Amino acid sequence: MRGADYIIKKAAFAIATIFVAITLNFILFRLLPGTAVTGLSRVPHATPALRHALEVEFGLDKPMWQQYVIYLENLFKGNWGISFANQQPVWDNLKTDLWNTIPMVLLGTVVAILVGIATGIISAWRRGTKLDQVSTNTAIAFYAFPTQWLALVILILFASYLPSHGMENDFLLNPTPWQHFKDVMSHMLLPSLTIALTLYGEYTLIVRSAMLETLGEDYVLTARAKGLPQRTIVRRYALRNAMLPTTTLIALSLGYIVAGAILVEDVFSWPGIGLAVVDSVAARDYPMLQGAFLVLTISVVFFNFIADLLYFRLDPRIKE
């Protein structure tokens, strides 16, 4: 019954977090100066009557509390609103952006996780050696680099060898499925590489720190005293207990996959949800921004909930 109580409590907390995020999501965008029709004052033939008609159409003429009630009602009905920019349903726009973003960010994130965990384990295992110093300093450097700066450096270095703009070659007419796949993958390499280099450093540092802590525990010393091989000690004893903080980091990384990498997508003009957020900010497209951040919130909360369930499996103390 202890496990059921734990899961129910975590699920209730996740639902409450999503509701609070939905409320803040609505309020924060309304606090920004101007509205979606403010910029029309600089457009020729944009009469006050036209601006008022658009405010009525978008519901911007109603009191704030009434807009909030309508917003909640629409969410419960599965209606995320209509984009101010293209008059299309927000969810239809986001679906397209998500399908573009997820493969690119997922590729970079998975590479970062695998490389970061491997280098973190090796650094902890060879603590104090030249290999540890090189691995740790490299991880710190990439962790400290600003994302947009790293993206621009990669763009300068590799733009002559790989596609660096958009998602596909517009001049590739009637490609076969295999040609289309290769074209998309070639466009995906540079932004995915940027994400991998940006993320892998924190995995290396977190795994190294957790491994060093577990390698100093009494049960590891006991295993060494029994004469167990070092590889067995690292794999069966140290790594499993070091996975708790790593699980949290992986959950956060997977949660942010759907948000894309706004700066990376902007630099490489990747048509994903990150670039859609940039365009929506410029257009003051509140429904699109609310939809994008709602997807991000649900994703982060969901993967943190999964991490809590994994804790229950990895850490026996939770069951006590």
DSSP letter, residue 62: S
Can you give the pLDDT at residue 42?
A: 45
pLDDT at 241 over 80: no
| pLDDT (tens digit per residue) in 7-63 | 788 888 888 888 888 888 777 766 766 555 555 444 445 566 656 666 665 566 677
Least confident of 147-151, 212-216, 290-294: 212-216
pTM: 0.76
- Residue 175: burial class (beta carbons within 10 Å; 0-12, 13-18, 19+): middle
| Residue 320 to residue 309: CA distance in whole angstroms | 15
What's the count of helices (H) and strands (E) in the chain, helices before strands? 13, 0
| pLDDT (tens digit per residue) in 250-269 | 777 776 666 657 888 888 88
How many residues are listed for the chain in this entry? 320
Nearest to 195 by CA among 274, 82, 310: 274
| Residue 141 to residue 164: CA distance in whole angstroms | 24
Which phi and psi angles does 82 have, rounded to 5°?
A: -115, 135
User: What fold does the segment set 2-319 form as a domain?
Assistant: MetI-like fold (1.10.3720)
